Homo-oligomer: A and B are copies of this chain.
Amino acid sequence: MPGPGRAALDGLDPRLPLHARLREVLVARVESGEWTPARPLPAETALAEYYEVALGTMRRVLGELVEQGLLERRHGSGTFVRRAKLDSSLFRFFRYGDPRSGTPAGRILSFDRAALPATAAEALGEPPGAASLHLHRLRLRDDEPVLVEDIWLPLPRFAVLADHHQDDLGDLLYPAYERHCGIVVASAEEILTVGTANAGDALLLRCRRSDPVVFIERTARTHDGTAVEWRRSVGRAADFRYRIEIR
């Protein structure tokens, strides 16, 4: 099977290095569902011949996709699409409190279509008022309210989520994005500030209005840097504890 060779890379920016274009087409094939965890991908030698690239180049790309968590390689048996591990991304971006104590849970209060507010739109690189899904959620630890979250997901990228009931999403959103939309969150930026609670937050957090609270604004991105989620979380300042490693 000779394959289309480099013609398969034609639609992409030719200024990009070969390995970058190759990565895009492989990611697209994984996200299309053409390859599933059930069976191995074609062998690296077959893929290299198919796209008419050197084996080393193909291996470099496959290695990057393994690093990114998209693929998994098993010596002697093949290269596989990695099944989403529901616990791996669990605490990855959850820095509030001690991860070891208690089990965090999410109670979704509302889940609707909404126009993007200005701050969310700017972070997501969308025009203000663009269509989105808006998720309002309360996070608890040991039945104690810990964080109130407002999450915006731009449409149409997350359109298939709109057809799901909120109970299908589960406590963990990032695995749901991956499962239903093929979107893998790879990095995030967070900005922390301190302010005072408004009436709605105070009620949910069981604190007084004007009590000090912490705001955490997060922009989550895919591997290629595209912003795919913006959220604003509010928690009581008294309970606040945020731990971060800097390298």
Bound-state Cα–Cα, A245 to B214, Å? 18
CA distance A244 to B93 in the complex (A): 11
State the A residues within 8 Å of B (CB).
56, 67, 69, 84, 86, 89, 92-93, 95, 186-194, 212, 214, 237-238, 240-247
Complex Cα–Cα for A194 and B240 (A) = 7
Instruction: From the candidates B84, B194, B241, name the one contacting A246 in the complex (CB within 8 A).
Output: B84
What's the nearest-Cβ distance from chain B to residue A64, in Å?
Answer: 10
Copies in the complex: 2
14 new A-B contacts at CB < 8 Å, known A69-B247, A86-B246, A193-B240? A67-B67, A89-B246, A187-B245, A188-B245, A190-B243, A190-B244, A191-B242, A192-B240, A192-B243, A193-B241, A193-B242, A194-B237, A212-B237, A244-B244
Provide the bound-state CA to CA distance between A89 and B246, in Å.
Answer: 10
Contacts of A186 in B (CB 8 A): 247
A-B interface, 3 closest residue pairs, ranked by CB to CB distance from nearest: A194-B237, A192-B242, A69-B247
Residue of B nearest to A243 (CB): B191
**Cβ–Cβ contact A238 & B194, under 8 A:** yes
The reply to whether B240 and A237 contact each other, CB–CB distance below 8 Å, is: no
Contacts of A67 in B (CB 8 A): 67
